[in-house]
Structure 1
Amino acid sequence: MTSDMLPRYMIIALDIAKRIYEGELTEGQKISGRTTLAAEYNVSPETIRKSVKLLRDMKIVEIMPKSGIFIKSREHASSFMGTYKEKGSISEVKTDLKNLLKQKSDIENRIQKDIEYLIENTTRIKKINELNFNKIIVEPGSGIIGKALRELSFWQSTGATVAGVSRGGDIHISLGPDFVIEEGDLLLYIGGEETVEKVKGIIKKGELDS
Structure 2
Amino acid sequence: MEHKIKVSAPVYQQIAADIAAKIVERRYQVGDRLYARSALASQYSVSPETARRAIAVLSDLEIVSVVKGSGVVILSYDNAVRFVQQFMDIKSMYDLKKNIMDSLERQRKEAEHMAESISEILDRTERFQAFNPFIPFEIEITAKTPYLNLSISDINFWHYTTATILGVRRGEMMMISPGPYAVLCEGDILYYCGDTDCQQRVRNFLYPEHPPEKAILDKLRASHRDGKE
TM-score (norm 1): 0.51
- Deviations 1:104-160 (CA, angstroms, capped at 9, x unpaired): xxxxxxxxxxxxxxxxxxxxxxxx84735228xxxxxxx94366xxx432623x822
How much identity, in percent, do the aligned residues show? 27
Structure 2 counterpart of 1:109: none
- Deviations 1:80-122 (CA, angstroms, capped at 9, x unpaired): 121122233445666788989xx9xxxxxxxxxxxxxxxxxxx
User: 2:9·2:91 contact (CA, 8 Å) conserved in 1?
Assistant: no
Structure 1 counterpart of 2:45: 42
Deviation at 1:64, TM superposition (A): 1.7
Q: How far apart, in 1, do the equivalents of 2:66 and 2:35 lie?
A: 12
User: 1:27·1:71 contact (CA, 8 Å) conserved in 2?
Assistant: yes
Amino acid at match of 1:45: P
Structure 2 counterpart of 1:153: 176
The 10-residue stretch of structure 1 (87-96 or 3-12) with the greater mean CA deviation from structure 2: 87-96
User: 2:148·2:184 contact (CA, 8 Å) conserved in 1?
Assistant: no
Gaps of 5+ in 2: 1-5, 108-142, 151-168, 194-205, 207-219
User: 1:155·1:161 contact (CA, 8 Å) conserved in 2?
Assistant: no
Greater helix share, structure number? 1
TM-score (norm 2): 0.47
User: 1:154·1:161 contact (CA, 8 Å) conserved in 2?
Assistant: no
Structure 2 counterpart of 1:201: none
- The structure-2 alpha-carbon separation of the partners of 1:164 and 1:58, relative to structure 1 and needing over 3 Å to count, comes to farther
Q: How far apart, in 1, do the equivalents of 2:185 and 2:62 lie?
A: 84
- The structure-2 alpha-carbon separation of the partners of 1:4 and 1:89, relative to structure 1 and needing over 3 Å to count, comes to closer
User: 2:20·2:80 contact (CA, 8 Å) conserved in 1?
Assistant: yes
- Helix, strand or coil: the match of 1:62? strand
Gaps of 5+ in 1: 104-127, 136-142, 167-171, 179-187, 197-210
- Helix, strand or coil: the match of 1:79? helix
Q: How far apart, in 2, do the equivalents of 1:41 and 1:92 lie?
A: 22
Structure 1 counterpart of 2:78: 75
Q: How many aligned positions are there?
A: 142
Structure 1 counterpart of 2:148: 133
Q: How far apart, in 2, do the equivalents of 1:89 and 1:145 lie?
A: 67
- The structure-2 alpha-carbon separation of the partners of 1:162 and 1:81, relative to structure 1 and needing over 3 Å to count, comes to farther
Amino acid at match of 2:181: G
- Deviations 1:156-185 (CA, angstroms, capped at 9, x unpaired): 3x822538749xxxxx9xx5459xxxxxxx
- Mapping of residues 13-28 of structure 1, within 5 Å: 13-28=16-31
User: 2:65·2:75 contact (CA, 8 Å) conserved in 1?
Assistant: yes
Amino acid at match of 1:36: A
Deviation at 1:12, TM superposition (A): 1.0
Does structure 1 residue 84 correspond to structure 2 residue 87?
yes
